[in-house]
Amino acid sequence: MRTAFTADQIRGAEHVLMARLPEGTLMQRAAAGLAAVCADLLGRVYGRRVVLLVGSGDNGGDALYAGERLARRGAWAGAVLAGSKTHEAGLAALRQAGGRVVDGSALDAADLIIDGLVGIGVAGALREPYARLAEDANAARAPIVAVDVPSGVDASSGRVQGAAVRAKVTVTMGACKTGLLVDPGASRTGTVELVDIGLGPYLPDPDVTALTRDDVAGLLPRPGNESDKYRRGVLGVAAGSDLFTGAAVLAVGGALRAGAGMVRYAGPGAPVTQVRSHWPEAVVTELRRPSIEDVGRVQAWVLGPGLGTGDWAHELAAEVLASDVPVLIDADGLTLVAGDRGLLRRTAPVLITPHAGELARLTGADRADIEADRLAHARAAAAELGVTVLLKGSTTVVAESAGPVRVNATGTSWLSTGGTGDVLSGIAGALLAQGLSCYDAASCGAYLHGLAGRLAAEGAPLTAADVATSVPAAIRAVTGGHVR
């Protein structure tokens, strides 16, 4: 499992470790790791032009000492001093190795840029001249290596307020920072390289985690010799309407492909016809009235995709939410709940799967604010509503009222097409029916959904049906060890 920490958590661990080591030891460890990554990126160090963007803090010192190491290997190293003060020992070491102080025009001829403008202790928008230098670096042709976090990215949240460096590689010291895994910051980090400086024993419980393939493989239910369709989990799906028949087809398909032992679909006439046609494996109940009494026993429900938001849908949602099994609420179900929060007064678990706009309707927050700080709003919604939140988007996050937020590391931008959320609901719902908690079902569902999207896309457009079709391949990749 990958772990990430806030700036305060990192600083606390550093404070304890620095008290046990000679002064400057951590900076030298960081500089050595940074220089090694830069050398690998350059390929040939001798004669290459490296420009250091140096701020007032320790990140500037890391950059200066890394520049010294590269200069001693024959690189041309020039430092742009942006801060009101400079790490004097680091600057002296750079000069002694043949480096020099330059102005921002040196960026145009650089082969590599090291971003040491600001570190994890800085929040909010970059001030001048930092903002201008960040934009100039982004405009240069050379790749950028960020020290710890790209300047302009909040290390604890991923929030970006104004100019921010877009790094090819981020060399982070001691432990991964939360903001490197969560958009909008994650989109500016490039590849994350971790340098071990000895913080491990002093770190607290993580702020954020990301499941790996092995984690997911360990959580996924697998049928045993005694399994039958009932023991493997029966999922109820209340989705679709005469207007939106495809949502029902996609949700049922996602559930079947994700290993549910049985899927019981309940809905009105038009989607019933479509589900029967596409998925003869599903047990279908046509609802003449908004009641689930004739559907049969299930272990979990998926509620909402394409259901509509009228009185009929509201009555059906109330019936489903009055049951004693876990319920995943998506799409129109979220709109219904936003209009009647009393529907969430239940003792059984609830998993909601909103995008930012749907979460805004549920909580009253501004959509742009949610997009800017996904972690905080997902956490707040989980605590306020008493549910597990899977917040969809460029970074999918899973939050409960306690414990670390999980972020999903799989996926592709090709998944941003109609119907893929319905497939995700089916996948996560199937995992709920098979006995996973909301937290694990959401996390594993997002992982498989993202991986299925990657397998289906192969760098080209896809449809939601393609994603559903690729779910078994994603499961095989996870359990068989063949993730691409």
Strand order, beta sheet including 388-391: 176-177, 2-5, 208-210, 405-407, 397-399, 388-391, 350-352, 327-329, 300-303, 234-238, 262-267, 283-286
Per-residue CA distances from 148 to 79, 110, 174, 175, 177 (Å): 18, 21, 9, 9, 8
Annotated binding site: 58-62, 115, 119-125, 130, 148, 151, 247, 306, 355, 392-396, 421-422
Q: How far apart are CA 447 and CA 483, in angstroms?
A: 12
**φ, ψ of residue 54 in degrees (nearest 5):** -115, 120
Annotated binding site for K(+): 59, 115, 151
Buried/exposed 364-385: b ≥16 CB within 10 Å, e otherwise: ebeeeebbbbbbbbbbbbbeeb
Question: Angle between the 464-480 and 246-257 helix axes, to the nearest 10 degrees?
Answer: 10
Q: How far apart are CA 465 and CA 480, in angstroms?
A: 24
**Residue pointed to by tokens 């399994």:** 227
Annotated binding site for (6S)-NADPHX: 58-62, 119-125, 130, 148, 247, 306, 355, 422
Annotated binding site for AMP: 392-396, 421
Greatest Cα pair distance, the chain, in angstroms, is: 84
**Residue pointed to by tokens 């661990």:** 13
> Any idea what DSSP says for residue 258?
T
Buried/exposed 84-102: b ≥16 CB within 10 Å, e otherwise: eebbeebbebbbebebeeb
Q: How far apart are CA 217 and CA 214, in angstroms?
A: 5
State in Å, rounded, how far the first CA of the chain is from the last one: 18
Q: Which residues contact 208 (CB under 8 A, 6 or more apart)?
A: 3, 4, 5, 178, 181, 182, 375, 404, 405, 406, 407
